[in-house]
Amino acid sequence: MDHKDRFANFSAQNPQKWEDPSVLDYSSRIEPPLQGNPGAQIKFPDPLNELLQASKLQDWDPAAMLNNLSFLEQKIHHLRGLVHSIVGRRDRVSGQAQPYGLVAQQQQLVTADLTSIIVQLISTAGGLLPYVKHTPSTQSATSPSLGQFQPQNGGGGSGGSGVSELQNSVDVSTNEEHESKDEEDGEELGENLFPGTYEILQLEKEEILAPHTHFCTICGKGFKRDANLRMHMRGHGDEYKTPAALAKPNKESSSEPALIKRYSCPFTGCKRNKDHKKFQPLKTILCVKNHYKRTHCDKRYTCSRCNTKKFSVIADLKTHEKHCGKDKWLCSCGTTFSRKDKLFGHIALFQGHTPAIPLDDTKGSTGICDPGDSSEAVNKVGNMDMFNFSSSVDVKGSIDDPAGCFSPLNFETCNFGGFHEIPRQPFDDSESSLAFLLSGSCSYTDKSGED
């Protein structure tokens, strides 16, 4: 695979993920159209995510499509109104010099809205494309077809059109749960980078594990993202509120080809350490962080559902928790399945395999008492002193003990065990019960006492 493709792919990840300023620089170099509006960048993945999730969850749904389209229509309408009002205002104040900030802000707003409309349009259309629908995870990472959307010139400042960049970021965002692993796994596929053609950076352990990488020079507060720091800075004075201060610090390096950066793990002896004989470099800071935590740190995060699986990267835990407990389809051979049809396919394939019935499940869903319950019920009936509510005779009995088990039968004046002879005349039977009811005495207790 052409490494440029993947390269572009990574660059398309949400800039939020990147904490190292150098990486930020790098990304900014190939995302020039987005530079101007960090706000828009942060804004659009959310509705997009929803849209894509929807298209991922179910097959193409014309109703959803209609929904999307009317949403888009609304949005366009809204935008037109906005532009209209800008034009109107400009006419009114023509002649006067408009404040630079206002113009920029308007521009930003319109651009952001436009891009988000474009993205939504693409994703709506994308719902129809089989490759987007069926194999989003593999496609986004490896498919050359997606490469069509990507800038062919990975280093070119003007290479990525906003749309294609966004499309990529969309794809990646749908696969968030895989992304960390993909990055490392992607590394395994082997880059054909010759030693020396790239710059090796090695962060120290403390740096890797530091929760924040951006610190406020005034108050010292730490942030994970530079963007957040810049937002924070606004509170420290008006000079930090200018669009220039709020924009990403733009390094002038986009013109000259930068040396490719690769990273080394600080852990000596690790294959990812630069001193290792078969050194395999890590591609990004995020790779370093995840690699270091996964390989050289304690697994501090335990799944709260199964209480067995442990993770050192919290994203891994979250990925696991999404699936944990869903493998409830169990075969008699011990194999579990997350889907019922997979289990049934398995059972159809192998002779003698049957689905296992979970113990607690049955009780809840079908209301079937377990043996303990039913014996309890039997006892309860046995215990029930039929015609004397105030006194309760405690009859002990269990399912193993026939006498106890049949205590309700005793009530009916028939001794189960003693039926070797011809049963009593029904007359005797009913006479006694008549007598008992008339007198109100509990003659049944005597009867059950007989055996």
Partner 1 sequence: MPPFQSNTNILSLTEDLLVRIYEILVSESDRKSFRLACREFLRIDSLTRKHLRILRIEFLPVLLHKYPRLQSLDLSACPRIEDGVVSLLLSQVGPASNSLRFGNWTRGLKSLVLSRATGLRFSGLEMLARACPCLESVDVSYCCGFGDREAAALSFAVGLRELNMDKCLGLTDVGLAKIAVGCLKLEKLSLKWCMEITDLGVDLLCKKCVDLKYLDVSYLKVTNESLHSIASLLKLEVLGLMACPLIDDVGLQFIERGCPLLKAIDVSRCQGLSSSGLMFVVRGHGNLLELNAGYCLSELSTALLHQIKNLKHLEVVRIDGARIPESSFQVISANCKSLVEIGVSKCVGVTNMGLMRLVSGCINLRVLNLTCCHSITDAAVSAIANSCRNLVCLKLESCNMITEKGLCQLGSFCLLLEEIDLTDCCGVNDKGLEYLSRCSELSCLKLGLCTNVSDKGLSYISSNCKKIHELDLYRCTGIGDDGLDALSSGCKELKKLNLSYCNEVSDRGLGYIGRLEELCDLEMRALNKITGVGLESVAAGCKRLADLDLKHCEKVDDLGFWALAYYSRNLRQINLSYCAISDMALCLVMGNLTRLQEAKLVHLCNVTVEGFELALRACCVRIKKVKLLATLRFMLSAEILETLHARGCIIRWD
Binding site for partner 1 (CB under 8 A): 340-341, 344, 347-348, 352-355, 357, 362, 365-369, 371, 373-378, 380-381, 384, 386-387, 399, 402, 405-406, 408-409, 411-412, 414, 416-417, 419-420, 423, 426, 430, 433-434, 437
Rg (CA), the chain: 36
DSSP 98: P
Q: Which amino acid, one-letter code, is at 2?
A: D
Range 213-245 burial, b when 16+ CB lie within 10 A, else e:
bbeeeeeeeebebbbebbebbeeeeeebeeeee
In DSSP terms, which residues pair with 336 in a beta bridge?
330
Query: What values do phi and psi take at 355, rounded to 5?
Result: -70, 145
> Hey, is 280 helix, strand or coil?
coil
Query: In angstroms, what is the minimal distance from the CB of 305 to partner 1?
Result: 22
Query: In angstroms, what is the minimal distance from the CB of 343 to partner 1?
Result: 9
Q: Which residue, 218 or 381, is less far from partner 1 as judged by CB?
A: 381
Q: Which residue, 94 or 366, is less far from partner 1 as judged by CB?
A: 366
- d(C-alpha 90, C-alpha 392), whole Å: 92
Query: In angstroms, what is the minimal distance from the CB of 132 to partner 1?
Result: 27
Q: Which residue, 176 or 412, is less far from partner 1 as judged by CB?
A: 412
Q: Which residue, 55 or 448, is less far from partner 1 as judged by CB?
A: 448
Q: Which residue, 21 or 355, is less far from partner 1 as judged by CB?
A: 355
Q: Which residue, 207 or 376, is less far from partner 1 as judged by CB?
A: 376
CA separation (Å) from 134 to 145, 153, 166?
14, 28, 20
Q: Which residue, 110 or 384, is less far from partner 1 as judged by CB?
A: 384
> Hey, is 311 helix, strand or coil?
strand
Query: In angstroms, what is the minimal distance from the CB of 441 to partner 1?
Result: 14
Q: Which residue, 168 or 413, is less far from partner 1 as judged by CB?
A: 413
Query: In angstroms, what is the minimal distance from the CB of 430 to partner 1?
Result: 5
CA separation (Å) from 362 to 88, 92, 228, 343, 373?
69, 74, 51, 18, 13
CB-count burial class (<10 Å; 0-12, 13-18, 19+) for 269? exposed
Q: How far is CA 227 from the centre of its chain?
A: 25
Query: In angstroms, what is the minimal distance from the CB of 84 to partner 1?
Result: 52
Query: In angstroms, what is the minimal distance from the CB of 134 to partner 1?
Result: 21
Query: In angstroms, what is the minimal distance from the CB of 447 to partner 1?
Result: 13
Q: How many CA atoms lie within 13 A of 47 on its CB side?
A: 18
Query: In angstroms, what is the minimal distance from the CB of 64 to partner 1?
Result: 23
Query: In angstroms, what is the minimal distance from the CB of 426 to partner 1?
Result: 5
Query: In angstroms, what is the minimal distance from the CB of 354 to partner 1?
Result: 4
Q: Which residue, 302 or 374, is less far from partner 1 as judged by CB?
A: 374
Q: Which residue, 307 or 365, is less far from partner 1 as judged by CB?
A: 365
Range 336-354 burial, b when 16+ CB lie within 10 A, else e:
ebeeeeebeebbeeeeebe
DSSP character string of 385-444: -TT-SS--------TT-HHHHTHHHHHTT--STTTTSPPPPHHHHHHHHHHHHHH---HH
Count of CB atoms situated within 10 Å of the CB of 87: 10
DSSP 59: S
- d(C-alpha 250, C-alpha 247), whole Å: 8
Q: Which residue, 222 or 402, is less far from partner 1 as judged by CB?
A: 402
